[in-house]
Structure 1
């Protein structure tokens, strides 16, 4: 509810700016034309993943992953790394934070293992793994537009090297700090059956069909919306009780809308000029590091979405926008509020009675985030 309150307050402030002339109406309308497809995609893909979870798709994936682990905790963890990375890349970081986190907790407990290494893996990969494709992160969708709408493959061609670094480096740290927990063996417990096979197979087919469509170059809101309509229709016939207002990520949409409008109002009144001085210009390795580290600091100070929006005008080119994405996507590992995905992740941990000390989380983030951002930015400079 705090998310909704903050979003509503920002919307009011942005609306006041528009009414009083601080934000020109032409700028506000141009902003709406830019962001409505992004918000629609967020709504649609959230509905798809929530309904697929209700159908048991992710539970079956977890159970199959446990079998593939062959009783070795380290192998099971590597499989979780693969699933979390793919979930983030193709279905967005919020999907990993919201839906995969409970799956891996259940998976770890099902195998009698400490859930913390697996939970830390999901939250770090939800952030650092979201660089490769436009659909991986809301910031990427914004950057894709600012880059001139490159295709998903063109976007990936620019981002592949920093994306690889941002996945590998944090996972090396998890492997090192959790080496004792990952050396043990496990025995899987009794598996859950699928409650409704028809719903399961239709949901699995929809998700399987959606993934390639999201990287096909079609505007992502179209296949995501179509997939949501199909699943809503099927659930209306077979499990109507699942269809509730809570399926919609209304708090996230309200927050994102408020941030969009508020930051646009600040830009109309000189914020961009100030940030351009801080983040510099140019595309040398040092210039790109200056921008990406500014993005990292901004994300951990105020959240990655407003940090991106504030710095986007100072980026100015595809390579600089890529550096900014490294900072705001791979950098939000330090403070709890650095990304909405982290807050959602912690909410899921609490609901499963899994405790993590924020002090430890912050210290680990201080170790991992700057190194990841620096090395990923240098990888971008070497390959762009």
Structure 2
């Protein structure tokens, strides 16, 4: 191995670790792109990745990132219209003061919001509503709040729009929107069901405490019917665009134009707020991170992972792929993990691609650093003067992650043999 090769490999790994560390710590609240963009430029400058390969990686990721920005805008517009508050009020009424029913309601709402509006909506927009709903009922918030963190990851298996990792896997799978959803429906249900069973037992002491009703709540927020209709039509638009051979971003754009145009006309939002909702600096971070990961993959990671990944679509092979993906997500975060793994498994077809997705979506429930969504969740907890307990999070993950990986991968294997790809 030449000295130049050793240097480029070392630089690539150091740059990736530095970018991830910065994203975890975010000194002075600086955006993740502050470290990622210079790191990507340095990777090109030292020859760890060629300018042509960096540009090709950017072109590959750009449609996915644009779609992510649109979904984030749509979720924020839904929150501004009161959709999340209405959901929280409905759960509070339905639970009738029962902590166990409250947990059931939060699971249902969080799973639905994660699937349709992405995991970021669940973490950033639903978690504060869950705090308020638990206080309103008088129940301990701990089980419900931890549920939003776990379901942001494990309930994001269903649709291509549910997670940025899904968008990447969707692009690599060659599947239509509806075929992707059909194959992942049973794995999604399996993951949510296992999580619910574990939560009921893990938090049994909290759920057994009699609720102490909080201060009387004001008038329940009304259901934003117009917003619900737009979301439903947007979801239908994803299916239509898939059959028409168009990018699903067009359906998301239509939903944003309708809700955003209405909000602008009524002066309930402004152009700056809409741009902020799209998280442009985070999108820039994703593009830059893609270049850094490309440098690491091209300088040896692909060879090492290639030796670990089993081939084929047998159940042991799919379990092996999911396990490797889960472990890698907890080492280098799920976004770099999926970027590194997809080129290696894509030749094997949709089955291994979806097994990678199961691993990188479910695996991050084991550690804080497994996904950016979990890091965002911790910040929401700090904003509510609540400490994210490392011990509880880890113990819960040690139970849920292996069980959900096994159940969801088994379900995927069954769906592949039942309906094919």
What is the TM-score when the length of structure 1 is the normalising length?
Answer: 0.90
Once the two structures are superposed, residues 124-154 of structure 1 have per-residue CA deviations (whole angstroms, 9 ceiling, x without a partner) of 1110111111111111111111112x11221
* Alpha-carbon offset, residue 193 of structure 1: 5.5
> How far is the alpha carbon of 1:202 from its aligned partner?
4.3
Task: Tell me the CA shift for residue 187 of structure 1.
Answer: 5.2
Q: In the superposition, relative to structure 1, how do residues 203 and 160 fare at CA in structure 2: closer, same or farther (>3 Å)?
A: closer
Q: Which residue of 2 aligns with 1:103?
A: 129
Distance 2:206 2:278 in 1: 37
Of 291, 295, 306 in structure 2, the residue corresponding to residue 276 of structure 1 is 306
Root mean square deviation, CA, Å: 2.4
1:165 aligns with 2:199: no
Is residue 347 from structure 1 mapped to residue 360 from structure 2 by the alignment? Answer: no
Give the paired residue count: 380
SS in 2 for 1:337: helix
Q: 2:204 aligns with which of 176, 179, 185?
A: 179
- C-alpha distance in 1, partners of 2:285/2:219? 36
Cα offset for 1:204?
4.0
How far is 1:115 from its partner?
A: 0.6
What residue in structure 2 maps to residue 254 of structure 1? Answer: 284
Q: Using a 3 Å threshold, how does the CA distance of structure 1 residues 13 and 181 change in structure 2: closer, same or farther? A: closer
Query: Where does 1:193-342 land on structure 2 (aligned, <5 Å)?
Result: 200=224, 202-216=226-240, 217=242, 218-239=246-267, 243-244=272-273, 246-316=276-346, 317-342=349-374
Q: What does the per-residue CA deviation read over 1:73-132, in whole Å, with 9 as the maximum and x for residues that have no partner?
A: 222221211111111111111111111111111111111111111011111111011111
Preserved CA contact (<8 Å) 1:90 1:214? no
Structure 2 unaligned segments of length 5 or more: list them: 1-25, 417-421
Q: 1 CA distance for matches of 2:181 and 2:34?
A: 35
Say which of 150, 155, 164 aligns to 1:124. Answer: 150
TM-score by length of 2: 0.83
Distance 1:192 1:31, change over 3 A: farther
Matches of 2:219 and 2:267 in 1, distance apart?
19
2-side partners of 1:299 and 1:187: how far apart?
40
Distance 2:111 2:368 in 1: 21
Segments of 4+ moved more than 6 angstroms:
none
Structure 1: tracts of 5 or more residues without a match: none
More displaced, 225-234 or 321-330? 225-234
The offset of 1:261, in angstroms, is: 1.2
**2:161 corresponds to which of 110, 135, 155:** 135
Say which is worse superposed, 260-269 or 6-15, in terms of deviation: 6-15
